[in-house]
Structure 1
Amino acid sequence: MLCGKSRCPIIVRLSHYMRTLVKVKGLNLDGSSPPSVFVGRFGYPYVFVGPLTPPVHGDTSIMDAPELWLGKSIDEIAEIRLSLIRGNFRVKVDQPTGSNRLLDEVRDLALSNLSVEVEMFFKKKPSGVFLMDDEVQPFGASAPIESLKIGSLRLDHRLDKAYHDYDLKASDAVLELYKSSIPVSKIQRAFSVGAFGEYKRRRLVPTRWSITAVDSIISNALMENVRRNPIINEYRVYESDYLDNRFEILMIPDVWCYESIEAWYPGTVWNPQGDRVVMYGDYEGFSGRTTYADMGGCYYAARLAVTERLVAEQRQASVLILREAHPGYIMPVGVWQVRENVRNALRKPPLKFNRLEDALEYMFSKLSIPRGVWMRKSTLLKQVLHQRKITSF
């Protein structure tokens, strides 16, 4: 391929895109929204928002439930997501409830517990460029909405309760819903439409930002728990391989700190035209971080998965995540892939070692990039090895 990939992501997307578009007749579409909504970020604080709906009826909930996608192929995910047509209209992010009927209907849609019948009337036929973003799930064509009809709703009573609590802070709402076993993706969707928070402070949050915000809020709270727990007794290595993304996770018996490093091969999402591997990484110590991670949403998605595991075990550890994104990862599918890949690794029994060197030797044997390259990039490993040298005297 001219783009350097083993398969062209544009062709993969275009085939599914066109298959859906031919089902849209004229300027209206009716179907069952999973439910799903999208809030854009360009032009902030004036943003485009609207429902995502496929031209099919029935239970479409799988189309906006990334927790259920692990194991599906790139083509299967593309087919699921590119079937969704996005209707959009422009609003200011602080538009209050009751002042815009379209926005109120989209907000109600986001709180639904089941698929919802939706009919959209467009100002022009859906079209548009593909969204290429590794933090947001892909979707298909879009068009400005003239009007919108939404069928009967069955609201999730837990989301609805948080929505009608005008004194509850947004972060507290997120944590209460997470503790109630609401899937993270549902919390993120409601968060994006400004469903939480003190009434006068409620805002629409671009979907890309809402995903990271919810991952960050939850993992920050879980970290408070982790820091109080006893330290693990051995070195552990966890693994997962999905969509040509290889994850190796090292847990070290020490106080909480966290580092995530990604290596993108030529022909992948963030290194499409390169001739060498590109690496990104971020680190935080025991007290956490006060600045946004340069890696973006992937850092917080993986941190959520790690803190979930440690809280479940009531243990504490230093954690290093190494990710190799190989050329088979031809197009971005969203930050959920990182969260679910790491969750998948941590659900499996780890390999346990008594010595750090043995754990490192095994972990690096499973990766394609040489050990020395990772060692030079990792702040955590440098600190651990330096500390070991000091204590050996």
Structure 2
Amino acid sequence: MRLKSKKKTECWRIPKLKMDSNWVSKHKKLNKNFNLDRNLRKNGSKSDFCLKCKGIRLLCGKTRCPLLIRINHFLKIVPLISNKDISGVSPPSVFIGRIGYPYVYAGPLVPPIHEDTSFFDCPEEWFGKSIDQIVSFRSLLIRGKKRVHAKKFSESGRMYEKILELALADKSVDTELEFIKKPKGSIFIDNNAQPFGPSAVLKKMKISNSKFDYRIERAYFDTDLKSNQAIIDLYSRGVRVSKIQKVFSVGALGIKKNRRLVPTRWSITAIDDII
């Protein structure tokens, strides 16, 4: 009796395109550097389309392949990262991971440029911009990360305080980051997360003096106000939804004993449900 051979698992390979793109011809190297196979499979069924499509059939329904767009812009930012430290103007922006919860990676998002970056992390201002424009400036955001406990974040000391200050800041903040290793890129597809650039574990972090929005500052210091009510109050007072999501994710709202870090993805969903 002959046994049927198991179907081989499809692997991602960047397709050969007719357009003049030198980076496409180096698909094996890109596949290794950006961990495409691992990251696509990590997302389960959501990445099945990517594995089958390979950027040609556009099974996701989009007019252009989001993965190929990200890779293209990733390659443009690589030359800007030459060592283990960067300085730039944060929008301001922070990102809280979800893998390994309650032990998560938290940290700032900082582009290696010194100009107006306020719209980099403000979806409300993206209306009218093309996918290429959005991915382009989002790919400039380099993520610094520090592993902390979601419920014991205060034990992280001064590092968490700086991340908190950055999240509460009303305007862009000059930021300097020093990493343990040089930031590396990682490409993944996720409909619930905004793209950003390379990342690395933080060693040191410096930020300039920042000013808080009085509405957010008031909610932060009111440690007897429940988070649901604080969110509704901030929204009714005209605070942008994206800002509320950011403040909520760093554990700055709610009754003091119940405050904790909330992964960015969960924060976005929670705020949308409450509002």
TM-score when scaled to structure 1? 0.54
1:110 is matched with 167
Aligned to 1:84: 141
Match of 2:36 in 1: none
In the alignment, the residues of structure 2 paired with residue 165 and residue 136 of structure 1 have an alpha-carbon distance, to the nearest angstrom, of 30
Amino acid of the structure 2 residue aligned with 1:70: F
Q: 1:287 matched to which residue of 2?
A: none
Q: Any residues of structure 2 matched to 1:178-193 within 5 Å, and which?
A: 178-193=235-250
Tell me the SS of whatever aligns to 2:201. strand
| Equivalent residue, structure 2, for 1:23 | 80
| Cα distance in structure 1, aligned partners of 2:224 and 2:116 | 34
Structure 2 residue runs without a partner (length 5+): 1-14, 16-53
Which residue identity does 1:120 align to in structure 2? L
SS in 1 for 2:190: coil
Which residue type is aligned with residue 141 of structure 2? L
Report the equivalent of 2:40: none
User: Counterpart amino acid of 1:26?
Assistant: N
Residue matched to 2:43: none
Q: Structure 1 residues 90, 10: closer, same or farther in 2, change over 3 A? A: same
Q: CA deviation at 1:110?
A: 0.3
Instruction: Verify the 8 A CA contact 1:131 1:139 in the aligned structure 2.
Output: no
Of the three residues 182, 200, 206, the one matched with 1:143 is 200
Aligned pairs for 1:136-285 within 5 A: 136-218=193-275
| 1:119 counterpart residue number | 176
Looking at CA atoms only, which structure, 1 or 2, has the larger radius of gyration? 1
Size of the aligned set, in residue pairs, is 218
Residue aligned with 1:20, SS: helix
- The CA distance in 1 between the partners of 2:188 and 2:87, in whole Å, is 23
Q: Deviations over 1:311-341 (max 9, x none)?
A: xxxxxxxxxxxxxxxxxxxxxxxxxxxxxxx
Alignment match, 1:66 = 123
RMSD of equivalent CA atoms: 1.4
The answer (yes or no) to whether the contact 1:98–1:104 under 8 Å persists in 2 is no
Task: Flag as ranges the 4+ runs of structure 1 deviating above 6 A.
Answer: none
Residue correspondence of structure 1 range 295-374 to structure 2 within 5 A: none
Q: What residue number does 2:91 align with? A: 34
TM-superposed CA distance for 1:98, in Å, is: 6.5
SS of the counterpart of 2:98?
coil
Distance 2:235 2:273 in 1: 13
The TM-score normalised by the length of structure 2 is 0.76
Q: State the AA in 2 paired with 1:53.
A: V
Partner in structure 2 of residue 53 of structure 1 = 110
Task: Give the whole-Å Cα distance in 1 for the aligned partners of 2:170 and 2:151.
Answer: 25
Contact 1:58 1:115 (C-alpha < 8 Å) held by counterparts = no
Does residue 130 (structure 1) correspond to residue 167 (structure 2)? The answer is no
The aligned residue for residue 101 of structure 2 is 44
Q: Is the contact between residue 29 and residue 121 of structure 1 (CA under 8 Å) also seen in structure 2? A: yes
Structure 1 unaligned regions, length at least 5: 219-393
CA distance in 1: counterparts of 2:71 and 2:153, whole angstroms: 38
Q: Give, in whole Å, the separation in 2 of the partners of 1:167 and 1:175.
A: 15
Any idea what the Cα deviations from partners look like across 1:165-213, whole Å, max 9, x if unmatched? 1111111110110011000000000000000011111010000000010
Structure 1 residues 167 and 96: CA distance shift in structure 2, 3 A: farther
Q: Distance in 2 between matches of 1:158 and 1:98?
A: 27
Code of the aligned partner of 1:75: D
2:158 is aligned with 1:101: yes
